[in-house]
Amino acid sequence: MSARKVLTTKYGSIGWQEFLSQKKEILRQFDHAKELCANRPTKTEYGNIGEAIFRKWLSEFLPKKYGITSGFIIPDIRSFDYVLRHYDLIIYDKINSPILWGTPDPDKSDQGKIRAIPADYVHAVLEIKSTLNRQSIKDAKKKLKEINIYKGHLKETFFAGIVFFEVKSSEQRSCKVAVDLYDGDILGYFGGLIIRAEGHDENITGYYHLLPGTETVEAMPLVREIGGLEIDDKGNPVLTKQGDTCQAIPKDNIWHFDKGYSPNIENIHLDWSYNSFPQFTFDILARLNGTYELGKYSSSYGMSFFR
């Protein structure tokens, strides 16, 4: 019988604690907004505050040549039938783009202003939802699908995604709800982020991609705590539970391990890990720079590797 040992948990990447602190601060502000709105007639108000929180955080991360705003995309067309459509988060060329018009937003921040951006200068759109459930997925996809009318006006590198602040415990028992995340008909749709899973370690984040061909195993939970990683007598990692994942990364003569949990979901690859939050962030930057590759770490800053 092969001897096994549990891998010693040491973290060896600069910046991982800072990224987790940023994530916790985003959630702290979101929870504070929920608490304040709990007894108000309009209980969805905290969702608008959540959008503002996420816009502000992303604007502080991205290079200043990229602007972050909520607002409208304006194609270069002449039509009396054109309908203005509002989007939660637009990433645009801040240096070169004219602002066709702008209005203030209740969150008072620069990112909270509602701006009208010419389609030629728009890089990406993200829809932001408070909670992941069937209705919020449907609403977000419907909004993103409206972007299809701008095809031919947007950049070829345009991308779109959905950010959910949390998934409630009631939605975690199976993967069934996550099947709805897939939609191959949305222009530039790559996937998105689930910042927190209720009742689980807040250090883990769910990052999902569209990946056609997978079959759903509904018996698998949508999210699960990341278990211990064992090493056999040959130094190979041993995955003990269905859905466990591990990526081994050699660096400076030391093997680093990124472990996680990935349930089987039709047409979706969802990865829960300590690294998903910074990975999503640097992937956004890589997409903007045109250097993104699926499955490749864009940067090791902020990654928490076991060694």
Residue 225 lies in a domain: no
Which segments of the chain have a pLDDT < 50? 1
Residue 168 lies in a domain: yes
Residue 85 lies in a domain: yes
pLDDT of residue 84: 86
40-60 burial by CB neighbour count: b if 16+ within 10 A, else e? Answer: eeeeeebbbbbbbbbbbbbbe
Contact 274, 302 (CB under 8 A): no
Residue 229 lies in a domain: no
Distance separating the N- and C-terminal Cα atoms of the chain? 24
**Residues 193-241 pLDDT 10s:** 999 999 999 999 999 999 988 888 888 999 998 876 777 777 677 887 8
Kindly state the tokens that stand for 69: 């705003």
Residue 166 lies in a domain: yes
Alpha-carbon distance of 288 to 97, in angstroms, equals: 16
Non-local (6+) Cβ contacts of 152 within 8 A are: none
Alpha-carbon distance of 46 to 94, in angstroms, equals: 28
Contact 222, 171 (CB under 8 A): yes
Give the rounded distance of the alpha carbon of 135 from its chain centre.
18
Domain tally, the chain: 1
Q: Which residue has the tokens 């829960």?
A: 272
pLDDT of residue 1: 45
| Domain range enclosing 188 | 14-210+269-289
Kindly state the tokens that stand for 90: 């637009």
Residue 188 lies in a domain: yes
Residue 223 lies in a domain: no
Phi, psi dihedrals of residue 52, rounded to the nearest 5°: -65, -40
pLDDT of residue 237: 77
Under the phi-then-psi rule, with left for phi > 0, alpha for psi from -120 to 50, and beta for the rest, what region is 37?
alpha
Alpha-carbon distance of 150 to 66, in angstroms, equals: 20
pLDDT of residue 7: 56
Residue 259 lies in a domain: no
3-state secondary structure at position 261: strand
Task: Report which of 265, 275, 295 is spatially closest to residue 132, judged by C-alpha positions.
Answer: 265
Task: Report which of 116, 17, 9 is spatially closest to residue 71, judged by C-alpha positions.
Answer: 116
Non-local (6+) Cβ contacts of 228 within 8 A are: 6, 7
Non-local (6+) Cβ contacts of 5 within 8 A are: 230, 231
Alpha helices, DSSP H, located in the chain: 16-37, 45-61, 134-145, 276-289
For the chain, give me the number of helices (H) and strands (E)? 4, 15
pLDDT of residue 189: 98
**Residues 274-289 pLDDT 10s:** 999 999 999 999 999 9
pLDDT of residue 107: 52
